Amino acid sequence: MQLSKHPIRSLMAAAIALAALPAMAGENPYSKAVFFGDSLTDAGYFRPLLPEATQGLSGQFTTNPGWVWSQQVANYYGLNKDPNGNGQNGDNYAVGGARVSVEGSGALGAIPSLKSQAARYLAANGGKADRNALYTVWGGANDLFAAAGAAGAGAPPAQVQGIIGAAVTDQIALVGALKQAGAQYVLVPNLPDVGITPQFRGPNAAAATAMSVGYNKALYGGLKQAGIEFIPLDTFSILREVTANPGMYGFTNVTGTACKINPANTTGSIIGCNPTTYVSPDAYQTYLFADGVHPTVTGHQLLGQYAVSVLEAPRLQQVLSHSAQTIGRSRADQVSNHLGARPADGLSWWGGVRGDLQRYDHADLYDGLAPAGLFGIDWARNGVVVGGFAGFGRLNADFGNSRGDFTQKDTTAGLFAAWYGDRVWVNGQVSYTWLSYDVNRKVQLGPATREHGGSPDGSNLTAALNAGYEFGTEGGFRHGPVAAVIWQKVKIDGYSESAAAGTLATALGYDRQNVDSTVGRIGWQARFDGGTVKPYVQVTYDHEFEDTKQASAWLQTLPELGSYRVPGLDFDKNYATAVLGARMDLFGLQGNVGLSTTAAQKRARDASIFATVSGSF
C-alpha cells in the first residue's frame, strides 16, 4: 500500500504518542534506570550507524518510530531513556542481537554481550552500582536461538544444552555481580514463550515453548538457590494471555508480522521497519508482532505497562497502612482535645464527629475522605480525669491515575487519663482499632483494564501523650508551649488478589505489613478564655522518627519465587500542623468546632474538620 507524505507524519505522531505511558508524579523512587539486554530492550544502539536520512524513522527492533518497553518504564519514572554506545550517553546499554556472555558481530558492527554491557557500565562508575537505581538484566533469547540453530544443524543434544546452560549460568552470575557492586533493585524478566511468535508457530512451536520454559526455570531457580534477590517479570505468561484473547487488547493479528522486511525494507532487518514498510497503515497498533519475534510498539506498550504495574503495586499497598496512621493521629488529636481545661468534678460524656481528608501528590498517589464518629465518658476529681471512648470511621479513597480504589473501615475502643492544673496539663491515651479493607487495583494494558481485588483485615495499636503549659490569666488571653508523642503500630494481613480468567499474570500477593509510626510534636497554642465563644489556635512542628520500609509482593504466576522488594513510599518526615477552632457554651452543653491541616508537606495535605459536644450526667 502506498502512503502519502502526510499520512506518514500522522503515523509517526500517533506512534510516538502511543508509546508514552503517563509519567509518574511525586518523589521518584529510583535515581536512574539502567538496562542491559538485547533487541527487546535496545533503545537505538545502532541508530547513529544508519544513514542519517533514515535515523528519524528507524533504529529499533520494532515498528519504528516508537518506544520499546524499557523506554516506557524509564519515561514513567522521568528518567533517562536514551541508548548508550556509538557516541550516545544514555543509561540503556542493551544491544540488538546480544547474547548473555558470547560476543557477536553483525552487519552494523560489534554486538557486545550483556556481560560486556554491564562491565562497561561498572568500569565507567568506579566498579560501583548505584544502590538507588533500577537495573534490568533481560537476555537469553539469542542464546536460545543459537541453541535452536545448533540443533537444526545436527549438533548433539549435549552441545545444545551446553549453550543454554552456559547462558543461564552467566546471567545468574551477572545479576549477582550487580548485587555485589551495590545494586538493590534488579529487574530480571523471563523469556517470552517463543513458541507463540510468528517465527516459531507451526510444527516447532511446542519445542520452542519447551526451550523457553526450561530456560526460565533454570534462570529463576538458579537465582533463588544462590540467594540473589531480584524482581521477576513474567513476560512468558503475560504475552500468552494477550495472544489468547487479542481483541481485548486491541489486536486483530497475533500470528503475522506488521513489517515487510524484504524487499520493501531496504535494510533487510526489523531495525529499518517504518511506516513505509508496514503491511497496513495501522499495523503498529493492530499487530502484536513486528517481525518473527519482536513486538510492535503497541506490544511493547503492554510490556511497559505490565512492568510498571509489577514495580508500583507493592508501593500502593503502603497507602493502606499510611492512611490508617493518618486517621489514627487525627483520632488521637480529637480524643486529646475533647477537654480544653480543668473539668468540673463528676461524671460527664462527650461525642464528636470528624471528616478527615487525605490528598497526596495532588491526588496522583491517592486521595480520600473519611467521616468518623467518637463517643466517650469521663470521670473527674480535683483535675484528675479517667475515661473511655469508642468510635467508628470509614475512608473511601482513590488510587491516582485510575489505578483503582479502596475502602477502609475502622472500629476503635480506648482509655483516656489526664491531669489539669492551673497552668500545666497532661493527658494520655491508649486505643486499639480493628481495621478492614476492600481493595480494588486496576492495571491498564492498552485499551483493556484488568481489576484485582482483596479484603485484608488489620489493626492499629495507638498510644499518645500530650502536655502543655500556659501563661496568662484565667478568663483572659492564655498561651504557651505544647508537646506530644503519638505512637502507632499498624498491622495489615497479607492477601492474594483475585484474578478473572486469563488475567493471572498481573495478579499479585502481598506479605503481612507491620508498620510503626512515632510522631513527635512541639509547638505553641493560644486561646481566649473569656466569653461565650473561646477561639484558639495551635501550630506545631511534627517529626516522624520511623524510617520508610521497602515494599514487597509476589507474582501469583510464580509463587515459588517468594517476595520481591521495591522502594517504599517516601512520605514526609517533617511538616507543620495548624489547628484553628473555638469552644463555646450552648444550651448547657460545651461545644468545640475547628479545622486542622498540615503544611510544609511536599505535594501532600492532611486536613480534618471536627465538632465535639460534651455535657454532665
Q: What is the pLDDT of residues 188-228, one digit of tens each?
A: 999 999 999 999 999 989 999 999 999 999 999 999 999 99
- Find out whether 288 and 242 touch, Cβ atoms under 8 Å: yes
pLDDT tens readout for residues 18-48: 445 666 656 799 999 999 999 999 999 999 9
pLDDT above 60 for 12: no
Span 585-589, mean pLDDT?
88
- Which residues are designated catalytic? 39, 291, 294
Per-residue pLDDT, averaged over 95-101, amounts to 98
Q: Does residue 262 have a pLDDT over 70? A: no
Contacts of 599 (CB under 8 A, 6+ apart): 575, 576, 577, 578
**Grid cell in block for residue 554:** 509476589
Q: Write down the pLDDT at residue 317.
A: 98
Rounded alpha-carbon distances, angstroms, from residue 425 to 20, 144, 215, 419, 484:
57, 74, 68, 6, 12
Lowest-confidence segment of 177-181, 359-363, 395-399 by average pLDDT: 359-363
- Could you give the C-alpha distances from 298 to 8, 63, 549, in angstroms and in order? 17, 9, 35
pLDDT of residue 231: 99
CATH architecture under which domain 5-295 falls:
3-Layer(aba) Sandwich (3.40)
Q: Would you say the pTM of this structure is higher than 0.85?
A: yes
- Write down the architecture of domain 308-616 according to CATH: Beta Barrel (2.40)
Fold match flag (5-295 vs 308-616): no
Average pLDDT over residues 590-604: 93
- Give me the pLDDT at residue 8, please: 41
Domain ranges of the chain: 5-295, 308-616
What is the chain's mean pLDDT, rounded?
94
For every residue of 279-341, DSSP letters joined together read SSTTHHHHBSBSSSS-B-HHHHHHHHHHHHHHHHHHHHHHHHHHHHHHHHHHHHHHHHTT--S
Mean pLDDT (whole number) for 288-295: 97
Look at residue 383 and tell me whether its pLDDT is greater than 90.
yes
**pLDDT tens digits for range 319-363:** 999 999 999 999 999 999 999 999 999 999 999 999 999 999 999
Q: How much is the pLDDT for 587?
A: 86
